[in-house]
Each structure stands twice: as structure tokens, then as C-alpha cells.
Chains A and B, each alone.
Chain A
Amino acid sequence: MPRPGFVLEVDKSTPPTLFWRGEGFSLEKLPADRSRVIYAPEPLPALDDIDGAIRHALLNPIDQDPLPTLLFPGMKLTIAFDDVSLPLPKMKRPDIRQRVIEAVLDLAAEAGVDDVHIIAALALHRRMHEFELRHAVGDRVYDAFAPRGMLYQHDAEDPTLLSYLGTTPQGEEVEINKRAADSDLLVYVNINLVAMDGGWKSTATGLASYRSLRHHHNPDTMQASRSFMDQHKSELHKSNWRMGKVMVDSGVKVFQIETTLNNDTFPSPFGFLSKREWEWSAKDRASFIGTKKALDRTPNRIARKIFHNIEAPHQMTSVQCGEVGAVHKITTEHVYKQQLVEVQGQTDILTMGIPYISPYNVHSILNPILVMCMGLGYYFNLYRGKPLVREGGVIIMTHPTPWEFHPVHHPSYIDFFEQVLSETTDPHVLSAKYEEKFANDEWYRHLYRTSYAYHGVHPFYMWYWGSHAMQHCGRIIIVGGEARSVRRLGFTPASTLNDALELASDVVGRSPTITHLHAPPIMIADVT
């Protein structure tokens, strides 16, 4: 039986705590008697018969007819699936999307359906490389569909491939992939790594255009989402759900398939990363020392490659399908079961080690904007109830934060960093002044459509993602970051954790409480 999450009260005998620092890590001694460390629950057991569970779910959906009854010859069937941003790290083959898509295709074939399109639901993310598509859907599916133009990636910038479905009562425009909208059935294959994923967000975001996305990816919505991991308190989700209703009312028929994974994040050579430090064996300690020393001597580029080649031993813990809302309710329960950790009270200082990866830099560079997004957009929002850090408190991240960008994946990020953040870091100001210009820039549009670039507006969304944390906290400090990058973000650089704590004392006093979020593996703090 896996152990639940745990909150360790740090005392003098507590060993140093592991902090991620991009493609590396350090051990840090937290002050005794006023610090605590939150550890994720141990991985839940995987389903015994994954393929059997998938087939069972397809035949026994929630609040919807079994999939075979929805399939008929001559119909238009579209299967959309989550893109390269999930899961993290990428999972060992076979990817869960492959297993689900193959099961759906088997049923479609049995029903005589021959008009099937498979679409990567990119939203405004970069296009996936062929090797990434093959990893996600498997070689068999890829080779059968891609060469015939029936497996492709959503293009949010081709007006001929988009369908405008109407507006929500709040005036939010709903425009999604035309093929998906026009199909007799849209099957969405999701991976629910965190509670934020899935539900109507899958289609209303993953298959949408900028015209739609701007209604919920904006500073007001993001600041009013408390948190993204709590659907009922998230304006982001409420907007997506309203858009989902517009889709249903327009006749879009969605068969939602959601899966959850356990948090078995790192393969055995890196097993110590998921363990609690006082439980490290001699082998774990040796692995840590050996890995750290090797990484310290390895050029960043190579270290990055090593880490991005890690394949997680994630396993599926649940699969459910049917009506979107009903399915997502159960999915969320499974996610919470794996990730919730009860935490009593808020903290003055929240510390977090930022790892090498985020949803937006797979096989790429965690540039400074993404460092911000990981810390303030994701880790800060890993809560239910109240934020882990009190209002006016301090967040301390550890990451090298180099002034470095992937020129192919993140071209608009470079311009955003150089031209926008040099002028303002206020999400509302930069949104009003620059968002439209970046969103409609022909060059970014060209690179998004034909190369592997994130959409021109994407760095704005990353910035908005962190806007609640920026509004909430009194100071943000990055330890070990390149000073000029950290300052450009509007944060304070510090050389060591002790320096950072000293700097934080200006804001939270001399004896603040400290909480370290020991992630990854991912957890959600249920703060009471």
C-alpha cells in the first residue's frame, strides 16, 4: 500500500533537502523548527490490465452510450489527443494515448468507419516532430494515417480549418477545429497529469484558436483562478465549461476519454529524486553524489539532452469515458487521490526547486519566462483551498535561469523578453499594449504554422499564468539564477539559499516559517 503524502517538520536532525536547479540539483539545509517539507504521496498501483480497462471503459461510458453504438459506416470520426506537453517526463512506450487510440480504432474498424482523422490538439503550442508523434500514437497508427494526411496537427491559424460556433452568454467566442466540429463524433483522448487538465479544457482549449483562447487566457481570468487545480474555483475552467456548452448546443458530439497516471516519475537511476532524503539508501546517496558530480562537469547542452531523454515509468491508474463533465469529475477524484497532501496553514516563505522541464520545453530549453511560469504558474498553483504561501509572503525558486532561448521553439519569447519585459512586467499593461501585436505578427504565424514555434502570443500566456502569484506575493527570489535574467523578470537574484532567506527577511521578518514543495513528483497541497 503506497504511503500518502507527508509534511515533514524540519528539526536539527533532518538531513539536507533536495532542491532541483534545472538540469541539476543541490542539497540545502532548511532552518530547524520553522521549516517543513511537503512530499508527494507514493505512486498508486497501476491498473493490472490496462488494455482491458480501456476496452471496458469504451463499452461502459458514463452518461453516454457505449462507443460502438456511436459508430456507423459513412460517419466522420475525429480522434483528438493531447500533445507533447503531456505527460512529463514523456512516458515509456507504449504511451497511454497509443493504447487508447488503438482501442478506439479497433472499434471503428469493427463498425466499418473509414473516414477517420486523428488530430494532435496543439492549441497554440508548437507542432510536434515526427518522432514525438510516433511516440505518442505509436508507429502502427502513425504509419497508417500520417502518410495519407489523416493524422495531422491542429492549425489554429488557418481560417479555412476553423469553425465558429457562437458565443457564450458572457460573450466569449467559440472557434474550434473545423473537422472536429463537423464530425459526427469527436473522441478526445486525454492524459490527466494534473487536476487542471481535461474536461472541457481539452476541446475548448486544445482545438481552439486565438479568437477563442483570449477569452480565458488573460490576466483577469488567471488572477481569478484560485487555483487552476480546483476546477470549481477556477475562472479558467468556468470559461472553458461555458464554451463546452456552446459546442454541445451547436451539435458537436464529444466522447471524452480521460486517463490518469500515477506519479512514478523517474526511472531507477534517478530513483532518489522521488524519495524522502532520510530514507535514502547508501545506493541512493552514491547515485546522488555521482549524478551531481557528473552533471557539474557536463555542458548544459548535453545535460539537457540527457534529462530530456528520460522516460518516466508512469502507469495508468484509471480510465473513464463518456460525457465530458461527468467523466472529468471522476478523473479529478483519481488525480486528487494520487496527488493531494493535507497541509495545515500557510507559510511565510515557499521554496521550490525548478526542474529542467515544463509542459512547454519538451526537448527544448527552460528559458527564463518558462522558469517564471513553472514557479509561479504551476508550482504556486499546486494548491486547493488557500495558496501555500500567505498573501505578501515570499517565493524562493532555485534555477540557473540562463538568458537562453530555443530559437526554433520560442522565437516570440525572445522578443517578449527583450522588448516587452524590458518595459513592463505588469500583466495587464503588457497585455493591453503588446498582446494583439504579437498574436497577429505574420512572422510568428508563419513559424507556428510551418516550423516548430509556439504561437506569437504564447509567452504572454505564460506570463499571465504567473499573474496570480505575482499579485499575491511580496517578493520573488531566484537562487543561482543569472542576475540579469532574473532582474528582467522583475525578481530578485540571490547566490545562495541563505542569501535568499536574508533578502526575504525584509519582507517577512527575521523568523519566517518556510515550506518547501518537494516536487517533482507532482502533488497538490490541500491547505486548510
Chain B
Amino acid sequence: MNRELRIERSLPKFAAAKVAGLLSPGRGSSYGPLSLVNADPLDLPADGWLTIKPRLAGICGSDLSTIDGNASRYFEPIVSFPFVPGHEVVADADIDGVSRRVVLEPVLGCATRGINPMCPSCAAGNLGNCERIAFGTIEPGLQSGFCCDTGGGWSQSMLAHVSQLHVLPTDLSDEDAALIEPAACAIHAALRGGFTGGETVVVLGAGTLGLLTVAALRAFTPVENIIVAGRYPHQVALARKFGANNTCPTPELARLVRSFTGSMAYGNQLTGGVDAVIDCVGDSASLTQSLAITKPRGQVVVVGMPAKVSLELTTLWHRETSLVGAYAYGTETMHDGVRRRTFEMAIELASTAHLGQLLTATYPLDEYKDAIEHAANAGKRGAVKIAFDMRQVSK
């Protein structure tokens, strides 16, 4: 039997989760559709698939949104129930008869779905933009961890397509490797800006994604100044460590940007501003602030998963601001024109920046309610990333 955390399609439970989540972030884990079950192992859906045994699996903001019933309904056609969450996965896999430690690239693109010829995006290496994520040999699911046929990382075993697996260097710890998937998202976001050198960039939000974005900007782009706004002192301290040369609490950001860029101001709007903001929060307030502090013809990159937001777009119109999304990863074009797989870069970053330092705590599956609440309140509790640890003996 496979011990796993599973999310069922149950509207009453999603409603209860939403109420509980409003009262206290993460409480949806106690009243919502998530439960710990012993399940039969999944059948391999096609050739190229194999069973892997998760070692560590991170808890992501998108997982928390789902558990607290806050995920956008946009996702309904591209997930399939019941599913086992967990897409930030370090696992053991038997590849060609050899046991290897691997990290999962969870996007379920054309290769995993047996679709041939591939869609234009997959063919171009832009896996995150796959146009067939609801089709092919497996059920809909934008990533492993949202598809009923693959399982997810919050379990003792799951399925993965061989094309999703990256063998880890032996000297890379599990903890460092657990941050590879979010680091790949951050690298993609950092390169989405198309920075060519000398730019000043604000990273808004200093949770896992924000901090990894800072590390990615420093490692893979020629930006000059990185300003980070975060809510908690430990976050801004880590941001400095990863290469930010200016940090501040979020309420002070506009004044810091004004001062740093020598801008003038009218009301809450700067006349100038930074070249780009990478918004790792993605709510109405953060997007409004991002637009207000970006210089004319600058760029706002939305990395934090937004849901419904209310936004005054006059600023965007008047200042000709570009608002772009940044989702997942695939293949990146560096500022010098070189093309690289995002996951390769993320594995490199995990090693050079010792990303495991962001992994604050791990929990066994049995303590999933504590784990979820810890992750949902990570900032307040001085934490960054929380993960499930399947290396521990379950109770």
C-alpha cells in the first residue's frame, strides 16, 4: 500500500477549507479535501513511465492555495481528481537497473503525454507553455502533483516519465535539491525580464520564490541593483545574503525606490522608478505597488501566482508598462544568447548558492496538518520552505 496525502473533488470540503483558511492560513488542511490515505499503487500509464520513491517534497504556495480553497477556477480543466499534491520532489528512481537520486521536472508536457508531434512550445523547449496539458495518454494535469494518473510527491511513491527526471550530482544534498524546482521557476522569472546589463530591479516579496529570484538574478543576469521588499527580518537578511544590495520592509518600498532612483513623485506615484519589478506576491496590493514604482516603459514580471485581482491600469496605460507572466520553466535564452535548460541551471544554482539553507523544517506525512500550518505561516514563524520528509519512518 502507498501512504499518500490526497485531495478529493468535494465541493463541501473545499468550501469548509475556504472558511477555515480565512480564519487561519493552512487550517484548510484540517477541514478541507486533503486527507492521509493508504492507496493501491498506480498503474504505469505507458512506456517510459516508472515508479519513483520521494525523499523530500516541498510545500509550495500553489499547494497551499488549493488546500485552503483559494485556487483560481482557471485550473479546473487542467487538473484531475483525486490527486496527490507535491511537485517539488527529490526522489529515488531505478533507471536502467541502477538506483539513482533524481529531481522531478514536474510539468506534464507533450513528451510525458505521448503526443507526437509535439506542440510548438514543447518543440521549442518551452515546456511550461505546453499546449497539450489536458490531452494525451494521461488525464489532465498541468504538473505532476495535479494529475490523478501520476500521483505526487506527498507520498511514499509516485509515477514519473523518464523525460521528467534529472539525475542529481552525488555531492548535492537532498535539502539543496529540494529547492531545485522552485529555483527553476525563479530562474525563468529572472530571465523573463530580458535584462541586458546595468538594470535596477525590485523583487517584491521575500518568501521562497522571492529569495530564489534574487539568487537567480545575481547568478544568471547582468542586473546591477537588486532591491528586495519583504515583511520579515529573516527574509530581508537572506535576501542580502543572496545578493540584494538594498532591502526594506514592504511599506517602505516606494520611498526607497524614489530615493534610490532619484525619482520625483506625485501622490503615491513615482515619476520614474526601477527598470523592472519581479512581483513574487501576485495580489492586488503588490501589483498596484509594482506598477507605481516601475519607470515608464519598464516591466512588471508576475511570478507569484495571482487569483482574481482588482487593478487600476491607468498607470500601465499611461506609462506604457509591460506586464508579463512568468510560469514554470523550460529552456532559457541568456543575455549573451546562449540557450540552456532551466533545470540544469537550477541544479547548478542549488549547489553554488547552497539553497538548502532555505529549507527550514521537514515533517513526516503523518504530521501533515502541522506541516501545512507551518508552511502557511512560514514568514511569521521565521521560516522559508517547509517540506515533507519521506526518509523518516512514518508513524
Contact = CB atoms under 8 A, between A and B. Distances in A.
A441 B264 CA distance: 9
A65 interface: no
B255 A443 contact: no
B255 A414 contact: yes
B187 to A, nearest CB: 30
A443 B256 contact: no
B262 interface: yes
A419 B248 contact: yes
A418 B252 contact: yes
Contacts of A446: 264
Contacts of B259: 415, 419, 437, 441
Contacts of A419: 248, 252, 255-256, 259
B263 A415 contact: no
A442 interface: yes
Interface string B253-278: 00110110011110000000000000
B231 to A, nearest CB: 15
Contacts of B264: 442-443, 446
A488 B29 CA distance: 39
Interface residues of B, number: 10
A437 B248 CA distance: 18
A438 to B, nearest CB: 8
A64 B259 CA distance: 49
Interface string B174-209: 000000000000000000000000000000000000
A443 B258 contact: yes
Interface in A417-462: 418-419, 422, 437, 441-443, 446
Interface in A150-170: none
**Size bin of chain A's contact surface:** 10 to 19
Contacts of A418: 248, 252, 255-256
B248 A443 contact: no
Contacts of A415: 255-256, 258-259
B104 to A, nearest CB: 41
A442 B259 CA distance: 10
B273 to A, nearest CB: 13
Nearest to B263: A443
Nearest to A434: B259
A446 B262 CA distance: 12
A455 to B, nearest CB: 15
A14 to B, nearest CB: 45
Interface string A270-303: 0000000000000000000000000000000000
Nearest to B247: A422
B289 to A, nearest CB: 16
Contacts of A443: 258, 262-265
Most buried by B among A422, A437, A442, A443: A443
A134 B234 CA distance: 52
A414 B249 CA distance: 14
B301 to A, nearest CB: 25
B125 to A, nearest CB: 42
Interface in B357-388: none
Contacts of A441: 259, 262
Nearest to A438: B259
A443 B248 CA distance: 20
Contacts of B252: 418-419
A419 B259 CA distance: 9
A81 to B, nearest CB: 32
A414 B255 CA distance: 9
A422 B265 CA distance: 23
A411 B248 CA distance: 17
Contacts of B258: 415, 443
A443 B259 CA distance: 8
Contacts of A437: 259
Interface in B48-97: none
Contacts of A422: 248
B250 to A, nearest CB: 12
Contacts of B262: 441-443
A419 B254 CA distance: 12
A455 B359 CA distance: 46
Interface string B229-256: 0000000000000000000100010011
B217 to A, nearest CB: 21
A249 to B, nearest CB: 38
Nearest to B236: A422
Nearest to B258: A443
Interface centre among B248, B252, B259, B262 (most CB of A within 10 A): B259
A89 B386 CA distance: 58
Nearest to A417: B252
Contacts of A414: 255
A446 B271 CA distance: 13
Nearest to B256: A419
A304 to B, nearest CB: 23
Interface in A392-422: 414-415, 418-419, 422
Nearest to A411: B255
B385 to A, nearest CB: 26
Nearest to B249: A418
B75 to A, nearest CB: 39
Nearest to A441: B262
Contacts of B255: 414-415, 418-419
Contacts of B248: 418-419, 422
A209 to B, nearest CB: 20
Interface in B255-311: 255-256, 258-259, 262-265
Interface string A238-265: 0000000000000000000000000000
A82 B265 CA distance: 31
A414 B252 CA distance: 9
A230 B258 CA distance: 41
A312 B256 CA distance: 40
A458 B57 CA distance: 53
Nearest to A446: B264
B373 to A, nearest CB: 27
B59 to A, nearest CB: 31
Contacts of B256: 415, 418-419
A419 B260 CA distance: 10
A419 B246 CA distance: 9
A418 B255 CA distance: 9
Nearest to A443: B264
Nearest to B255: A415
Nearest to B264: A443
Nearest to B252: A418
A443 B264 CA distance: 5
B246 to A, nearest CB: 8
A414 B265 CA distance: 15
A442 B262 CA distance: 7
A419 B248 CA distance: 8
Contacts of B265: 443
Interface string A83-95: 0000000000000
A437 B255 CA distance: 14
A419 B256 CA distance: 7
A62 B265 CA distance: 51
A440 to B, nearest CB: 9
B337 to A, nearest CB: 36
Contacts of B263: 443
Contacts of A442: 262, 264
Nearest to A414: B255
A446 B259 CA distance: 13
A441 B261 CA distance: 10
A187 B341 CA distance: 76
A464 to B, nearest CB: 20
Which 4 residue pairs are nearest across A and B when measured between Cβ atoms? A418-B252, A415-B259, A443-B264, A415-B255
10 contacts: A414-B255, A415-B256, A415-B259, A418-B248, A418-B252, A418-B255, A419-B248, A419-B255, A442-B262, A443-B264
Interface of B: 248, 252, 255-256, 258-259, 262-265
Given A414-B255, A418-B252, 6 more contacts: A418-B248, A418-B255, A419-B248, A419-B252, A422-B248, A441-B262
